[in-house]
Amino acid sequence: DTAVSQTPKYLVTQMGNDKSIKCEQNLGHDTMYWYKQDSKKFLKIMFSYNNKELIINETVPNRFSPKSPDKAHLNLHINSLELGDSAVYFCASSSRTARNYGYTFGSGTRLTVV
Amino acid sequence: GEDVEQSLFLSVREGDSSVINCTYTDSSSTYLYWYKQEPGAGLQLLTYIFSNMDMKQDQRLTVLLNKKDKHLSLRIADTQTGDSAIYFCAEGEDKLSFGAGTTVTVRA
């Protein structure tokens, strides 16, 4: 019954590979996000989708491409992985009409590029 | 985030109160939030405060908001070992901006 679930939890891959991270929420929220947390625990937003429409696209390399097939799913595909992409990636969701509940986060995907 | 600042570390003795401080820049945020992150886990919403409130109490947690100074604080009463974690202050509307997180260590 996990509210926001991400897969995989861990991902170790070589430089230059392409990988995807999947996220699903069962909260009925209309907005989903991808955040990147670096080794210093600093969290930065990457993308946000509202009802499958991209509404936030921060300064992120073109190698990162989000896809939202429906409002309960938001996936992140990364091409040509680089060492600097190593981080923990968090998916989150929220309801625009219930902001006082904040965001609900997934447990994260730890990506290690070697 | 560059818009939200927090001190990085806090060490507190078990049973004492912890106070974590945060300053923010976006005065248009309707809500301000405190999140907790335990090792290897995602962020968990601890509490939030509506921007026109000065204080909110929720069991052991007290949030104080000084809107004039754009200062937010979180007080944890009777701090327990289970309170050891990273605490993030966050603000924003369409996107949340987070502080760098305060690592709270509770010592016996």
Q: How far is B29 from chain A (nearest CA, A)?
A: 10
Calculate how close chain B gets to A107, using CA atoms only, in Å: 4
Q: Give pLDDT tens digits for B20-47.
A: 999 998 878 888 999 999 988 999 999 9
Which residues lie across from B86 on neighbouring strands? B37, B103
A:16-75 residues touching chain B, CB 8 A cutoff: 33, 40-45, 48, 55-56
Whether pLDDT at B75 is above 70: yes
A100 touches chain B (CB under 8 A): yes
Burial of A98 (0-12, 13-18, 19+ CB in 10 A): exposed
**HEC readout, B32-65:** EEEEEECCCCCEEEEEEEECCCCEEEECCEEEEE
Tell me what the pLDDT averaged over chain A comes to: 92
The pLDDT > 90 percentage for chain B reads 78
Pairwise CB contact (< 8 Å): A4 & B42: yes
Q: What is the pLDDT of residue A99?
A: 64
Contact A107 B42 (CB under 8 A): yes
Q: Confidence class of residue A100 from pLDDT cuts 50, 70 and 90?
A: low
On the question of pLDDT at B100 being above 90, the answer is yes
- On whether the CB atoms of residues B7 and B72 are closer than 8 A, the answer is no
